[in-house]
A = this chain, B = another copy of it.
């Protein structure tokens, strides 16, 4: 289907509405369009044209949506890069996506210099230099074809090279429409993006902004006090978070209440610890759990507003344009039986760039096999248990790290927890735990924590060891990186 360019259409409708609020600056949709069109002319002068891939290596800021829309005015394809990657990892993605240019922030100059040694042909331009590039008079794309490619976004993957997820205009559109039919929207809404804009959680907020006509408040990095201030003083009504961010906001909030205008804490990024959800409930924080991934253009399953208390711990129901099933031994599992989560819908990717085999393996008849484990209750609400690749099998029993982590987090002294499986001669695997402690508490002995677990978990689920560490490894979205945990085991104990 052909549609008018989204930013142009939005400016036809509400040019004077605030589109973006950043550090000391705000832009209306009309101003954003003006800047995006100027930037498009500069990117064209660098050689970017229709269907070309343009990579961004940028911190969060107002310049990101400007660049995103500029890229789409050219009919080019956006390739957002994770700023925490090593030069070698970035080179892989730039080559795999055959990017024609890389726009980067000054902060990443060292990485880009290393990249340029390996990829001397790649045109690399700093965002501050881009301002002085003369604009080419190339005509901008007034219309889009919804089937066209909009974004290539790499998923970290647990093994092997990352895969470039292909996202079309229609994928983003369907995601935004599915979300508004669940969460609603009014012109007074303001969505805080303190998650990275190079991840789908952040990019999807920018898409909703232009489609709904919604103000987005962009934070350069997540800071719990700043996030709380945005809610309390700047009229933010919706925030995207993962559990770790939410826990830190709750701590910082220190018993204070959010104003009644705050209506949605959208909690993604994996299973959430029940004590955290209960603490939010007790403090009147409207948490909406959600389940999604790059391949689904963000949310695909979200808890509807009226179930946020009665279905605590559930990720909810598939959005209006999406479907869900739990597969076990090749058939759809009945309620309460665990299996692999499969999803389908207009927001689901058509596949991976240059990976016909991986695509064919992951997507069959439109159903994407997520690799995640969960079950649905008798009313069809999804409960996500874990990522399949993290599953620990001990003495023939399935052990889900998230379940053990939730118990550890309910201990009053524990701030964060991560669990992995370690090889064991007797049981095949045994769970091993890593925790960080809250400040100002008496440090518990390992045996004390183990005793706490034994009271709450079947024997085979109790960790064989609990290591107290300074910090847990997390990615840029603050998701726990379980596969990095084994590196934290003290030397000599591996």
Shortest CB distance A235–B (Å):
16
List A residues 403-453 near B (Cβ within 8 Å): none
**B contact residues around A9 at 8 Å (CB):** 320
Decide: A304 and B186 in contact? CB cutoff 8 A.
no
**B contact residues around A323 at 8 Å (CB):** 4
List A residues 7-34 near B (Cβ within 8 Å): 9, 12-14, 16-17
Decide: A321 and B211 in contact? CB cutoff 8 A.
no
State which of B4, B177, B184, B346 has its C-beta within 8 Å of the C-beta of A1.
B346
Decide: A304 and B1 in contact? CB cutoff 8 A.
no
Shortest CB distance A76–B (Å):
23
Decide: A3 and B380 in contact? CB cutoff 8 A.
no
Closest Cβ neighbor of A211 among chain B residues: B181
Decide: A13 and B304 in contact? CB cutoff 8 A.
yes
Complex CA–CA separation, A184 to B182 (angstroms): 12
State which of B4, B187, B304, B318 has its C-beta within 8 Å of the C-beta of A305.
B187
Query: Quick check: is A393 within 8 A (CB to CB) of the other chain?
Result: no
Known: A4-B323, A306-B187. A317 touches B12 (CB 8 A): yes
**B contact residues around A273 at 8 Å (CB):** none
Query: Quick check: is A180 within 8 A (CB to CB) of the other chain?
Result: yes
Known: A13-B317, A186-B186. A181 touches B346 (CB 8 A): no
Shortest CB distance A259–B (Å):
16
Decide: B184 and A16 in contact? CB cutoff 8 A.
no
Known: A211-B320, A346-B1. A380 touches B184 (CB 8 A): no
State which of B187, B213, B304 has its C-beta within 8 Å of the C-beta of A14.
B304
Complex CA–CA separation, A304 to B305 (angstroms): 26
Decide: A16 and B177 in contact? CB cutoff 8 A.
no
Decide: B212 and A13 in contact? CB cutoff 8 A.
no
Decide: B184 and A185 in contact? CB cutoff 8 A.
yes
The proximity string for A residues 171-196 relative to B, scoring 1 for CB distances below 8 Å and 0 otherwise, is 00000010011101111000000000
Closest Cβ neighbor of A212 among chain B residues: B181
State which of B3, B184, B185 has its C-beta within 8 Å of the C-beta of A321.
B3
**B contact residues around A16 at 8 Å (CB):** 306
**B contact residues around A13 at 8 Å (CB):** 182, 304, 317, 320
State which of B14, B177, B305, B318 has its C-beta within 8 Å of the C-beta of A177.
B177
**B contact residues around A184 at 8 Å (CB):** 184-187, 212
List A residues 378-418 near B (Cβ within 8 Å): 380
**B contact residues around A4 at 8 Å (CB):** 323
**B contact residues around A1 at 8 Å (CB):** 346
**B contact residues around A305 at 8 Å (CB):** 187
Shortest CB distance A318–B (Å):
8
Decide: B180 and A181 in contact? CB cutoff 8 A.
yes
Complex CA–CA separation, A321 to B4 (angstroms): 8
Shortest CB distance A217–B (Å):
19
Complex CA–CA separation, A304 to B11 (angstroms): 12
Shortest CB distance A84–B (Å):
35
The proximity string for A residues 111-125 relative to B, scoring 1 for CB distances below 8 Å and 0 otherwise, is 000000000000000
Shortest CB distance A186–B (Å):
4
Central interface residue in A17, A213, A306, A320, by most chain B CB within 10 Å = A320
Shortest CB distance A402–B (Å):
25
Complex CA–CA separation, A237 to B399 (angstroms): 50
Q: What 8 A-B pairs have minimum CB-CB distances, sorted nearest first?
A: A184-B186, A184-B185, A13-B317, A13-B304, A14-B304, A187-B305, A12-B317, A177-B177
Can you list 18 A-B contacts with CB-CB less than 8 angstroms, sorted by A residue number?
A1-B346, A4-B323, A12-B380, A13-B182, A13-B320, A14-B304, A14-B306, A17-B306, A180-B180, A181-B185, A181-B211, A184-B186, A184-B187, A184-B212, A185-B185, A185-B186, A186-B186, A187-B305
Given known contacts A13-B304, A180-B185, A211-B320, what 20 new A-B pairs fall within 8 Å (CB)? A12-B318, A12-B380, A13-B320, A14-B306, A16-B306, A17-B306, A180-B181, A181-B211, A181-B212, A181-B213, A184-B184, A184-B185, A184-B186, A184-B187, A184-B212, A185-B185, A185-B186, A186-B186, A187-B305, A187-B306
Partner-B contacts on A (CB < 8 A): 1, 3-4, 9, 12-14, 16-17, 177, 180-182, 184-187, 211-213, 304-306, 317-318, 320-321, 323, 346, 380
